Amino acid sequence: MSGGGAIPAERQAFYDRIATRNMAPLWEVFHSLVRREPTPAARPVVWHYDEIRDDILESGGLISAMEAERRVLVLENPGLAGTSMATDTLYAGMQLILPGEIAPAHRHTQSALRFVVEGEGAYTAVEGERAYMAPGDFVITPTWCWHDHGNEAAEPMIWLDGLDIPIVGLFKTTFAEGHEDDAQGEARPAGDSLARYGTGLLPVDHEPASRPVSPVFHYPYARTREALAQMARAEDWDACHGLKLAYVNPETGGPAIATMGTYMQLLPAGFVGQDYQATDGQIFSVVEGRGRTRIGDEVLSWGPRDTFVVPAWARHAHEAVDEAVLFSFSDRPVQRALGLWRERRGNA
């Protein structure tokens, strides 16, 4: 590779000439393309819910869910200004739906997740089945599936959206279309997919779907919290993560969403985690408890309903003041499928 000084005239003339043939010298850019370690543009950041809640609610008076199609405030990473990205590969936003509203049905090639932050009784409908949601619930809207949202309750509903928009955009495979009706007709009763596929049983004649996505699209928090509590009784704590569970596809045991890994973890009161690094940038939503996460030289304090980002390959450690529960998602499934994912624990 060329040094950092002035380029000799003969060499520059060569570069200029080959540029007219749409070529360039690799040696001038090699070390910016093939780096020794990841250098994400995303930065550590926390959105404190108490500070942004009024902004989310104010948006409800400025535009309707029908007019906006999805009334969402994008959580944009300060290191990725203007990109609508929370990490280098994932999108996140806070969606509001008011009582009596419908966010109209549509579908798109991006996969999406909903993680409920506030409110109870609104629903997401996927392919004609409704999931009535409560705080801490995790809901999937799989790629190219019709979905709409509605609020039949008396209070506003707010949830965290996560989508693989940058990943789908990288491959230039974005497609979307609107439904002829604002809301889908009912194809199956609410809770049908969880009853069929989410109890450790499958219908005897069930054939796995061709798409690598969980047939369960609603994972209630009550069940997840119970699983964490049961594991805590065994005190099988991980030095970095406390107790951490992955949401899975019951057909395959693989990730619930092919492009986004989704997790819930429990940190006991007083937990001080060991340092950890991984190549997947992570977006966290705090369900319960208070604590802090040290990321490099920065410390992000967090509490219930806050959202924060740990960039890819950033050395970090969690500490819990109270018993805490954290939901998170990342692009780990894509990295693992391509043989790219790495982790490092402690001072290794």
> Domain locations in the chain?
45-345
Question: What's residue 4's pLDDT?
Answer: 61
User: Is 264 in contact with 248 (CB distance < 8 Å)?
Assistant: no
**Token representation of residue 22:** 């749409």
CA distance 339 to 348: 21
Other Cβ atoms less than 10 A from the Cβ of 232: the count is 15
Query: Tens digits of per-residue pLDDT, 262-284?
Result: 999 999 999 999 999 999 999 99
Cβ proximity of 157 and 124 under 8 Å:
no
Fill in the DSSP letter of residue 208: -
* CA–CA separation, 65 and 172 (whole Å): 28
Yes or no: say if 85 and 115 are a contact pair by the CB < 8 Å rule.
no
122-167 pLDDT tens trace: 999 999 999 999 999 999 999 999 999 999 999 999 999 999 999 9
Q: Compute the distance between CA of residue 80 and CA of residue 69 in angstroms, rounded to an integer.
A: 24
Instruction: Look at residue 2 and tell me whether its pLDDT is greater than 80.
Output: no
Q: Return mean pLDDT, the chain.
A: 95
Q: How confident is the model at residue 116 (pLDDT cuts 50, 70, 90)?
A: very high
Fold adopted by 45-345: Jelly Rolls (2.60.120)
Q: What is the pLDDT of residues 70-108, one digit of tens each?
A: 999 999 999 999 999 999 999 999 999 999 999 999 999
**Would you report the helix, strand and coil content of the chain in percent, each value rounded to 5?**
20, 30, 50
Q: What is the pTM of this model?
A: 0.95
pLDDT in tens, 174-223: 999 999 998 888 888 888 999 888 888 878 888 877 777 899 999 999 99
